[in-house]
């Protein structure tokens, strides 16, 4: 319950101190511990490590001018400065209205003192109001692990440590930053753009990781963008952006996702008109290509024309062929389709197919006979356009005004039995095939010679 007011400074040394419910106003404190020196003045061994505790104390109204007394050879940049083997603890204390480099300067290092004391600085459950400082504790890299802080700060953001001018500051008040990152959805094979915004109109570099690759986006006055030409496979990608922070601004991160949409390529089917003759091989040729004119290999194309219905795989030229020579002669409209797949859109088209009747081969053989033969046998042979016999086909023979009918046998031969030629003479007859749905009509003359 003691109040220490401005006018000088306090130096604590060579014994343990415990302050309870005390007030320190504009009164800097320097804490030392006893050491043992050799003749040249070099510090070689620590004899004692003393403890300094402050409970429910108030430290208020300090400025840089309150921390220096040149006439007394005293000058420090902190409210409290500790020797490196000091063991100090602050609990439930209040620090307010302070402008300084730091509240504490402590180079506490661990060591094996005779009494087993380890140097440290512990600041717990303390409150800091209206303080303008670089950091709450100024220390060295080797001492950071020996400093424990757990307090209430009235700053929007406190960074655990930061290195400034070769010193390490613990619990650094920094301005909170807000980072946002955006990547618009794209289609496969397109470039993408990383857009970044950083609060406080900051100019800095922001790291963005996409698909395990890091990109650096330069942010100027709070905004930045980077066009990326890397090609990503269709998928949904995580975007992780991070700003490392730079005093007096805190680090910040942001995440988002974007999609790379698979491009389904348009396709086209082409099939020119086909004019064919029955029984003469002729193909309906269909070509499947993508929108860039590339022939699509190994894709199945459905073809329906007349009695033909097939699903055929395209060859190395992106083509399928269907022989239409077996169709009943007439005009057809072929319907052709590609169902599409994961990579290509469907396509369809039609094609005109005209199959004409074939021309058969009708042959006759001259008959020489005698009057006494009551039944004269006249023969004719009917074959298709490829020379294959046509059996069981009706043909007619007209001679001397009378018409005779016969059917071809298995050899394609029709035999007419003529009974009305009873006089000597040479007769001319006509053999006719009327045609059918496959073949055109055909006729042939035949000579019949009747002798006595």
Same domain, 391 and 342: no
CATH number at residue 310: 2.60.40.10
Do 73 and 110 reside in the same domain of the chain? yes
Dihedral in degrees, nearest 10, Cα atoms 150, 81, 115, 111: 80
Same domain, 225 and 274: no
Is the per-residue pLDDT at 220 higher than 90? Answer: yes
Contacts of 329 (CB under 8 A, 6+ apart): 278, 355, 356, 357, 358, 437, 438
Are 331 and 288 in a shared domain? yes
Same domain, yes or no, for 93 and 222? no
* Same domain, yes or no: 114 and 189: no
Mean pLDDT over the full length of the chain: 90
- Give the tens place of pLDDT for each residue, 163-219: 888 889 998 888 889 999 999 999 999 999 999 999 999 999 999 999 999 999 999
Tell whether the model's pLDDT for residue 3 goes beyond 50: yes
Is the preceding peptide bond at 248 cis, omega within 30 degrees of 0? yes
Residues 97-135 as b/e (b if ≥16 CB within 10 A, e otherwise) read ebebbbbbbbbbbeeebeeebebbbbbeebebeebebbb
In this structure, are 12 and 122 located in the same domain?
yes
Euclidean distance between CA atoms 314 and 302, whole angstroms: 10
Which of 261, 276, 301 represents a domain boundary (last residue)?
261
Q: Lowest-confidence range among 25-34, 96-105, 310-319? A: 25-34
* pTM for the model: 0.60
Residue 168 lies in a domain: no
pLDDT at 36 over 70: no
Q: 108 pLDDT band (50/70/90 cuts)?
A: low
How confident is the model at residue 45, as a pLDDT?
A: 47
Which residue range is the domain that position 302 belongs to? Answer: 267-356
Mean predicted confidence (pLDDT) in 1-17: 84
Check residues 80 and 321 and name the one with the higher pLDDT.
321
Q: Is the pLDDT of residue 410 over 50?
A: yes
Please, which residues have CB within 8 angstroms of residue 65's CB and are 6 or more apart in sequence? none
In a domain, 166, yes or no: no
pLDDT of residue 33 exceeding 80? no
Mark whether 7 and 150 lie in a shared domain. yes
The reply to whether 231 and 296 lie within a common domain is no
> Residue 162 domain-assigned?
no
Q: Where is the domain boundary, 312, 331, 356?
A: 356
Higher per-residue pLDDT: 411 or 32: 411
Location of structure tokens 């600085």: 121
* pLDDT (0 to 100) of residue 86: 72
CA distances from 313 to 87, 281, 318, 347, 449 (A): 85, 20, 9, 15, 62
Res 6 pLDDT > 50: yes
Q: What SS3 state is found at 26? A: coil
Pair 10, 139 in one domain? yes
> Which range (94-108, 185-199, 390-404) has the least confidence?
94-108
Confirm whether 163 is domain-assigned.
no
For residue 165, being part of any structural domain is answered with no
pLDDT, average across residues 392-401: 96
The answer on pLDDT for 392 being more than 70 is yes
Selected residue with higher pLDDT from 228 and 36: 228
Task: Give the residue carrying structure tokens 């620590």.
Answer: 46
Q: Is the pLDDT of residue 302 over 90?
A: yes
How crowded is residue 254: how many other Cβ atoms within 10 Å of its Cβ? Answer: 19
Kindly state whether residue 9 falls inside one of the protein's structural domains: yes
Looking at the fold, whether 227 and 126 belong to one and the same domain comes out as: no
**Of 261, 294, 326, at which residue does a domain stop?**
261
Shared domain check, 147 and 21: yes
**Number of domains the chain contains:** 4
In a domain, 161, yes or no: no
pLDDT tens by residue, 110-123: 554 445 556 678 89
Residue 167 lies in a domain: no
**Tokens coding 18:** 């415990």
100 pLDDT exceeds 50?
yes
């Amino acid at each position: 319950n003691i109040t220490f007011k401005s006018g000088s400074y306090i130096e604590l040394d060579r014994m343990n101190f415990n302050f309870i419910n005390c007030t320190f106003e504009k009164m800097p404190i320097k804490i030392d511990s006893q050491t043992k020196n050799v003749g040249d003045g070099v510090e070689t061994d620590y004899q004692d490590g003393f403890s300094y505790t402050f409970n429910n104390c108030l430290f208020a109204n300090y400025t840089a001018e309150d921390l220096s007394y040149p006439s007394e050879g005293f000058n420090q940049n902190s409210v409290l400065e500790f020797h490196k083997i000091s063991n100090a603890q602050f609990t439930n204390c209040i620090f307010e209205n302070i402008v300084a480099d730091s509240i504490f300067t402590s180079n506490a290092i661990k060591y094996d003192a005779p009494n087993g004391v380890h140097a440290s600085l512990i600041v717990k459950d303390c409150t800091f109001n209206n303080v303008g400082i670089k950091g709450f504790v100024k220390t060295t890299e080797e001492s950071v692990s020996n400093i424990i802080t757990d307090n209430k700060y009235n700053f929007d953001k406190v960074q655990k440590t930061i290195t400034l001018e070769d010193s390490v500051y613990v619990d650094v008040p920094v301005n909170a930053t807000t980072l946002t990152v955006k990547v618009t959805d794209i289609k496969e094979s397109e470039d993408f753009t990383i857009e970044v915004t950083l609060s406080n109109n900051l100019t800095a570099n922001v790291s963005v990781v996409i698909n395990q690759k890091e990109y650096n986006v330069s942010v100027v006055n709070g905004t930045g963008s980077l066009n990326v030409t890397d090609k990503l496979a269709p998928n949904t990608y995580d975007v992780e952006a991070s700003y490392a922070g730079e005093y007096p601004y805190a680090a910040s991160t942001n995440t988002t996702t974007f999609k790379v949409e698979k491009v389904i390529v348009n396709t086209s089917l082409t099939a020119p008109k086909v004019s064919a003759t029955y029984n003469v091989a002729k193909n309906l040729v269909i070509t499947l290509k993508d929108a860039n004119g590339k022939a699509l290999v190994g894709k199945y194309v459905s073809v329906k024309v007349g009695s033909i219905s097939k699903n055929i795989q395209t060859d190395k030229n992106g083509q399928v062929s269907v022989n239409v020579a077996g169709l009943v002669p007439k005009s057809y409209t072929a319907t052709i389709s590609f169902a599409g797949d994961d990579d290509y859109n469907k396509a369809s088209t039609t094609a005109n197919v005209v199959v004409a009747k074939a021309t058969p081969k009708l042959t006759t053989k001259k008959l020489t006979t005698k009057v006494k033969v009551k039944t004269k046998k006249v023969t004719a042979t009917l074959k298709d356009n490829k020379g294959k016999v046509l059996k069981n086909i009706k043909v007619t023979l007209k001679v001397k005004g009378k018409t005779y009918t016969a059917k071809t046998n298995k050899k394609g031969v029709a035999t007419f039995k003529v009974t009305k030629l009873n006089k000597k003479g040479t007769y001319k007859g006509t053999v006719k095939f009327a045609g059918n749905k496959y073949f055109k009509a055909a006729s042939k003359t035949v000579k019949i010679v009747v002798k006595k």
